[in-house]
Amino acid sequence: MVYTISDLAVETGISYHTVYYYIKEGLIRESNIVGSRQRVFDDHDLERLKQIVALRKKGQAIKYIKELLNKEDANGETKHL
């Protein structure tokens, strides 16, 4: 499925601005830009964002989350919470 930033925000219960912040922090990959400069994301991005949101709700710092996700990316793992 294809999602916009707004779709991701609705699906995860966070604001558009928070999703955009996570993109700028490198927690979510830069998306493809289609049409009138609209960013699009896939199911993998949504699952990753759900993981980020869950970790933030547990009080984890952005720096820790970034390190954890980078380690998972390097190992080819996906951690499900």
Instruction: Please tell me the total count of domains within the chain.
Output: 1
pLDDT score at 77: 57
Q: Quick check: is 81 in a domain? A: no
CATH of the domain at 55: 1.10.1660.10
pTM of the model: 0.82
CA-based Rg of the chain, rounded to a whole angstrom? Answer: 12
Q: Quick check: is 53 in a domain? A: yes
For 16-31, the pLDDT digits (tens) are 999 999 999 999 987 7
SS3 call for 34? strand
Q: Quick check: is 39 in a domain? A: yes
**If you average pLDDT over every residue of the chain, what do you get?**
88
- 16-24 and 5-12 are packed helices; what angle lies between their axes, rounded to 10 degrees? 110
Query: 29: domain range?
Result: 5-75
Q: Quick check: is 80 in a domain? A: no
